[in-house]
Chains A and B, each alone.
Chain A
Amino acid sequence: MTATEVLVTRGTKPPRAKRPPRAKTPHKGAIAVFAGPFGILFLLFYLLPIGYAVWQSLLVVERDGLYGEPKEVFGGLTQYIQVFQHAPFWDSVGRVLLFGVVQVPVMLGLALIFALLLDSPVLKGKRFFRLAFFAPYAVPGVIAAIMWGFLYSPNLSPFTGLTQSVDFLSPEMVLWSIANVVTWVFVGYNMLIIYSALLAIPGEVYEAARLDGAGQIRIAWSIKIPMVAPAIILTAVFSIIGTLQLLAEPQVFRSFSSAVSSTYTPNMTIYATSAVPNPYLAAAFSVVLALATCILSFAFLKLTQRKAEQ
């Protein structure tokens, strides 16, 4: 404490100009105390692992003869060539893309409808609905998947009539059964994001529209939705990221359905590869997946921005 106090008194003595001079930074000690811990942790547990994974992905293991000591040597892009020839990995990428193309619009569409209804004067009992719809977000993905896994199973489900006529865990259906679990957990969360954005629209905007004779649906379509577009884009980007990173739900579903292989999603492929163990190839998968995630969410942002400008 004393050290910083000394620093402060020194800093306050001369009459301070509005903008501190470029050369000297006042309160250096305090800044280091405040930003230092996070900076170091961010370096250690964000930047360093990413850098290390990139480095590992460039290594290969070589042996001297058949029984020689294995040793790591620099292999350039060898692992990446493997990644691009790895059919199960690309199958898993295709699977989550298909999943995302269907699930993300459905989930966000529902979230938008619920948010608009919560914001409209026609609905009673808003508080209750808000709480009820948000409650599933408190359920961790693993637990939600276990729960729905039982609900889908032909003998345990309360809806035996349905589960015995439709096999939710069959190879054709299981992807959509998982999509339902993800939707169930996240609709309420996305609804709240959009709803908060709706609440931020000043009331007089609607008053003007109403004087023009616009009905609720017209107001929602022409005023509310365009004004909350940034919030919708935000939820879309986070949903795209989440879809590519899908892991917990399908991993749990392996216990319920043999149709879910150990390489069902990209992250499951990474996990399975690291368990082999082949850390070098797993690292290369990780790097490719992270890049794909960045590119996809960035491209989506750019695309929607361009559309907004038109």
Chain B
Amino acid sequence: MSLLTRTQGATTDAPRARGPREHIVSRVGALLIMGVFTLYFLVPIWWLFIAATKDRGQLLTTNALWFADWNLFANIGDLISYGDGIYLRWLLNSLGYAGLGALLATVFAGMCGYALAKYRFPGREVFFNVVLGGVLVPATALALPLFLLFSQVNLTNTFWAVLLPSIVSPFGVYLARIYAASSVPDELIEAARLDGSGEVRTFFTVSTRLMAPALVTVFLFQFVSIWNNFFLPLIMLRSQELFPVTYGLYAWNTQLNQIPELRTYVLVGAFLSIVPLIIAFLLLQRFWRNGLGTGSVK
């Protein structure tokens, strides 16, 4: 400990401490471990891509990890036209559930977290603790209770049955509160007040800009959790026009034994549905780290 304090002054403005040249063996070893696991993580996705470019005959007869005849666009054309374009419908549904749901969830969670961070009111901590408890309740645990409730009011098998439960994000409230508390100065709100700006206007014009990184993170987390939520649509929806793309592909996959030609569609459809997600993920990785970091500090 005494060492620590003694050296502190010398190193505070040095870049992240790096040791002397490490042994060549540990360098190669590290690279080898990471290289092997890169294959583990990427080969399945590569295989799916290759499979999506082949026609049905070549799928089984040619090298599964390398191209045969380039058939991707023909496959996509077939996929889109199959069953009156139901696949595109599913994609749009997924975008609707996840996009709209995440947007609304972010607005509501952002406002609520802001209120918890910047205003004092009776019952504030109780309210926050109840919401925090909600963070620990996984979406799948709520699916059946929601189904029972929605069937009471005849709302199962509707767009609302999947959308409405998705616009509640307790984790978003938690993140927004922590972030608002540290990034929106009280003096700024006070100054806006003196300028005659209303509380709500101050929030939407000033505070949201300061909270933007947290809000983007909340949006991302919620988008992915809605996109991935399988139990809710599975238990709520019966008509396939309402399915999100994951449920649609699952439904096709269960019919493979009766309708073997669906196999190409499942593979191409699966590939097509993850491409935008992977790209968005990689581009927005900064925000992921943001949210994950905040989540683990506590």
Which positions in A face B, CB cutoff 8 Å?
1, 4-5, 7-9, 11-12, 20, 25-31, 33-35, 37-39, 41-42, 44-50, 52-53, 56, 110, 113-114, 117, 120-125, 129-143, 146-151, 155-158, 184, 187-189, 192-197, 199-200, 203-208, 210-212, 216, 230-231, 234-235, 237, 241-242, 245, 247-248, 251-252, 254-255, 267, 270-271, 274, 279, 282-283, 286, 289-290, 293-294, 297
Stretch binding the partner chain, chosen from B72-80, B83-91, B209-217, B284-292? B284-292
Contacting residues of chain B (26-47) with chain A, CB-CB under 8 angstroms = 26-27, 30-31, 33-34, 37-38, 40-42, 44-45, 47
Q: Is the interface of A mostly helix, strand, loop or mixed?
A: helix
Instruction: Name the B residues within 8 Å of A120 (CB-CB).
Output: 30
Q: Say whether B270 contacts A200, CB under 8 Å.
A: no
Q: Say whether B267 contacts A20, CB under 8 Å.
A: no
Q: Say whether A5 contacts B296, CB under 8 Å.
A: no
Known: A25-B119, A30-B119, A279-B148. 8 other contacts (CB 8 A): A20-B120, A34-B203, A123-B31, A194-B296, A205-B4, A211-B3, A234-B295, A247-B230
1/0 per residue, CB under 8 A from A, across B58-98: the answer is 01100111000000000000000000000000000000000
In the complex, the chain B residue whose C-beta lies closest to that of A158 is B64
Q: Say whether A1 contacts B33, CB under 8 Å.
A: no
Q: Say whether B296 contacts A231, CB under 8 Å.
A: yes
Size of the B side of the interface (Cβ < 8 Å), in residues, is: 112
Knowing A9-B196, A34-B115, A206-B17 touch, does A212 contact B3 (C-beta < 8 A)? yes
Q: Closest Cβ of chain B: how far from A37's Cβ, in Å?
A: 5
Q: Say whether A146 contacts B116, CB under 8 Å.
A: no
Knowing A1-B201, A156-B60, A293-B141 touch, does A135 contact B42 (C-beta < 8 A)? yes
Instruction: Name the A residues within 8 Å of B122 (CB-CB).
Output: 25
Instruction: Name the A residues within 8 Å of B247 (CB-CB).
Output: 142
Knowing A208-B7, A216-B19, A216-B26 touch, does A193 contact B295 (C-beta < 8 A)? yes
Q: Closest Cβ of chain A: how far from B14's Cβ, in Å?
A: 7
The 3 A-B residue pairs with the shortest CB-CB distance, nearest first, are A158-B64, A30-B199, A49-B145
Instruction: Name the B residues within 8 Å of A235 (CB-CB).
Output: 296
Q: Does B168 have its Cβ within 8 Å of any Cβ on chain A?
A: yes
Question: How many A-B contacts are there with CB distance less than 8 Å?
Answer: 315
Q: Say whether B201 contacts A134, CB under 8 Å.
A: no
1/0 per residue, CB under 8 A from A, across B259-284: the answer is 00000001100100110011011100
Q: Say whether A50 contacts B145, CB under 8 Å.
A: yes
Instruction: Name the B residues within 8 Å of A211 (CB-CB).
Output: 3, 7
In the complex, the chain A residue whose C-beta lies closest to that of B63 is A158
Instruction: Name the B residues within 8 Å of A241 (CB-CB).
Output: 136, 138
Instruction: Name the B residues within 8 Å of A146 (CB-CB).
Output: 249-250, 253, 266, 270
A241 vs B38: C-alpha distance in the bound complex, in angstroms?
27
Instruction: Name the B residues within 8 Å of A252 (CB-CB).
Output: 250, 253
Q: Say whether A139 contacts B45, CB under 8 Å.
A: yes
A122 vs B38: C-alpha distance in the bound complex, in angstroms?
17
Q: Say whether A129 contacts B19, CB under 8 Å.
A: no
Q: Say whether B131 contacts A42, CB under 8 Å.
A: yes
Q: Say whether B292 contacts A136, CB under 8 Å.
A: no
Instruction: Name the A residues within 8 Å of B38 (CB-CB).
Output: 129, 132-133
Knowing A12-B193, A146-B250, A146-B266 touch, does A274 contact B293 (C-beta < 8 A)? no
Q: Say whether A151 contacts B134, CB under 8 Å.
A: no
Knowing A143-B249, A156-B59, A210-B19 touch, does A184 contact B40 (C-beta < 8 A)? yes
Q: Closest Cβ of chain B: how far from A178's Cβ, in Å?
A: 14
1/0 per residue, CB under 8 A from A, across B205-236: the answer is 00000000000000000001001101100110
Q: Closest Cβ of chain B: how far from A273's Cβ, in Å?
A: 9
Q: Say whether B281 contacts A138, CB under 8 Å.
A: yes
Instruction: Name the B residues within 8 Å of A38 (CB-CB).
Output: 108-109, 111-112, 168, 173
